[in-house]
Structure 1
Amino acid sequence: MSPAPGSKGDATWFGVTGTTFVIDPREKLVAILMAQAPSGRGQMRPLFRNLVYGAMAE
């Protein structure tokens, strides 16, 4: 089991300054975070995924 939320086959990309996106075909989801915070990227990325998938929880 993965520690990060998501589905098998999802794709993620991380930019240098904190930008990130996730594409999850199983959930029909595309989420993009546009941020310019190089020092906060380690905290923002997992929080972003948790918030996106948490908002979808039933």
Structure 2
Amino acid sequence: MTKILAFFLILIAAIQVIKPLGWPGLKKRSDAWKLVAGVVVITFLSVILSALFQGF
């Protein structure tokens, strides 16, 4: 699930670089870093959550 979400967000970031989406906060091509930062945060949280629930 997390890999699918990360792939989707990276795909949106690539589209943002080619043609800006025009969403609030994503008006310029250079705003693609916000989407990449979101992917990093989601990946980091998924690793932490999977480590916490590994013992259960």
TM-score range relative to shorter protein: 0.3 to 0.5
Higher relative contact order (CA 8 A, sep 6+): 2
| Greater share of residues in strand | 1
Larger radius of gyration: 2
| Greater share of residues in helix | 2
